[in-house]
Amino acid sequence: MAQSFSELWALVPKNKRTSKAKVVVALFVLGAIDAPTARATKDVTDLLTLHLKGRAPLNPSHSLTTAAPEVEPVLGQGDEKLWRITPTGVTWLASGAPPRSCSSMDTTPRRSAGRRSGSISRSDE
């Protein structure tokens, strides 16, 4: 059974939700897994805008271009550039692991904006 964008996106860890991850998930949801099913940049842009609104990549064309090896271009009719997810991209989605280039990102935990764990509460006074 095919998963929706929201279902797949929820499986991506928050610190791995890069533009690259967004276009990989979008292409998979659009069914662009081989040359005959490859999709145009506009299709990817429309899906990302629908689901992510202001969090969609500002330049989806650039995101697609730099998403190798998980995504690759395919030449369509009339020299139109279409995009498909590669077997590497499908494997990444199936395993739930971040794409290779995402693994080099800084994953240092950030301190929350709340109180420090050692602070004393003044509500007892």
Q: What CATH number is associated with residue 13?
A: 1.10.10.10
11 found inside a domain: yes
Q: Output the pLDDT for position 2.
A: 55
In a domain, 85, yes or no: yes
Residue 58 lies in a domain: yes
What pLDDT does residue 108 have? 37
CA distance 41 to 30: 11
pLDDT, residue 16, reads: 86
Decide if 61 is inside a domain: yes
Q: Which domain holds residue 14?
A: 5-97
Number of folded domains in the chain?
Answer: 1
Mean pLDDT of each 10-residue bin along the chain, 125 residues long = 81 89 95 95 97 95 95 93 95 67 38 42 42
Q: What is the pTM of this model?
A: 0.74
Residue 113 falls inside a structural domain? no
Question: Can you tell me which residue has the tokens 């080099």?
Answer: 104
Does residue 103 form part of some domain?
no
Q: Please report the pLDDT score of residue 94 as a whole number.
A: 80
Question: Considering the domain boundaries, does residue 115 fall inside one?
Answer: no
